[in-house]
Amino acid sequence: MNRSSTSTGLLIAVIAAVSFGTSGAFMKPLLEAGWSPAAAVTFRVLIGGVVLLPIALVTLRGRWARVWESRWRILAMAGVGVAGTQLVYFAAIQRIPVGTGILIEYMAPLLLVAAAWVRTRRTPHAVVLIGSVVALVGLVLVVSPGGGGSLDPLGLFFALLAMVGCALFYVVSAQPSNGLPPVALAAFGLLLGAGILALAGVTGLVPFTVRAADVVMLGTLTPWWVPLIVVGIIGTAVAYASSITASEMLGSRLASFTGLLEVVAATLFAWLLLGENLALPQLLGGVLILVGIGFVRSEKVDATAPVTHKLPPLTPARPGSRS
């Protein structure tokens, strides 16, 4: 990967992180108005998928064989990257503090580093290990875990599942595209994920409550659909499409570390739009996350070494091709 391609990928990854970071500020008014998290996320994901679908159809240009060949990747994105991770995260924060749940989930980049270490039996470069530690310290400062809640073992288990799901999202995103445009993977993954989330709500697996009433946003009463549209377009459609694009360009490891900027962006948006306090430790944490990303970015990859941030393709090999 040349420097120009990496720089472009990093820029797209930052756009993805900032887009994802808008979600909390626009979802909170809905939650405060009585929406259940699962219901808000289901509508958000559905809107994102509907927005991306026309673009996906145009980019596919009738190449439906590409969709079929990538069916397992799409199903993995829908089941794990979209629905599964969010369901176990909500299950976790019902039992443990939100900050603790976020901290555990966003340790996904460290899981990817450890998984590559185990798979290849190669010790990660020093810059990767240093970057991992620095980014983790920054994440702790930004998230400020705790809050006085009990550390319920089942809640911690669900948070760990969310961490695995987050890591798998980046792994699935970084898979060889086989001609499937990133926007198509995002669109079909979101639409299928919305169906899974809706099914979980209808069957009573998770609380599913919708309130069709005005919500308070920026200090004024606003129609309930306004924050949903904003988070559906920016925090979901733009975020998922750009994150998948960046992961294909950067690989899961660097993309996941850059994705830590989401928690920084979420804190800034909460400060700007909701008036929540922004403390000096959080600013310092944001700087440390940037430094950690810089260390990981500076890793020199041996072109002859096995790639450690991608798994084999999720689609079966076609006759005559190498798996």
Q: Range of 92's domain?
A: 3-297
135 falls within a domain: yes
* pTM to 2 decimal places: 0.87
Give the separation between CA 146 and CA 67, rounded to whole angstroms: 43
321 falls within a domain: no
314 falls within a domain: no
227 falls within a domain: yes
- Judged against a pLDDT cut of 60, whether residue 318 lies above it is answered with no
Could you tell me if 290 and 135 are in contact, meaning their C-beta atoms sit under 8 angstroms apart?
no
- pLDDT at residue 137, rounded to an integer: 92
202 falls within a domain: yes
313 falls within a domain: no
- pLDDT at residue 261, rounded to an integer: 93
Supply the angle between the helices 280-297 and 261-274 in degrees, to the nearest 10: 150
Share of the chain above pLDDT 90, in %: 57
276 falls within a domain: yes
Listing DSSP states for 107-149 in one string gives THHHHHHHHHHHHH--PPPHHHHHHHHHHHHHHHHHH---SS-
Share of the chain above pLDDT 70, in %: 89
Give the separation between CA 311 and CA 305, rounded to whole angstroms: 14
Dump pLDDT digits (tens) for 245-291.
999 999 999 999 999 999 999 889 888 888 888 888 888 999 999 99
Query: 98: which 2 tokens?
Result: 């939100």
319 falls within a domain: no
Q: Into how many domains does the chain fold?
A: 1
